[in-house]
Amino acid sequence: MTTTRVELDEPKCVASGQCVLAAPEVFDQRDDDGVAVLLEEYPGEELLHDARAAEAVCPAAAIRLVER
């Protein structure tokens, strides 16, 4: 079985919060500047769909899902 790891390229993040809307259990936003925070580096089966949606909507190409 493969596991999927979420990579967040923090310097690219423009703090749009689109990942939080798409996958609230995988991402949060720092209160002071809005930069994304990864809550689940290895989202399980049930969160994968949301995590993929976050990758798709991130305007800054800061999120990548990697299969291992």
Residues at the contact surface with other proteins, assessed by CB under 8 A = 11-12, 14-18, 20-22, 29, 31-35, 53, 56-57, 59-61
CB burial of residue 57 (10 Å; 0-12, 13-18, 19+)? middle
63 binds, among other proteins, ligand SF4, none (CB under 5 to 8 A by kind): ligand SF4
CB 10 within 8 A of CB 36: yes
Tell me how far, at minimum, the Cβ of 48 lies from other proteins, in Å: 16
| Least distance to other proteins, CB of residue 1, Å | 27
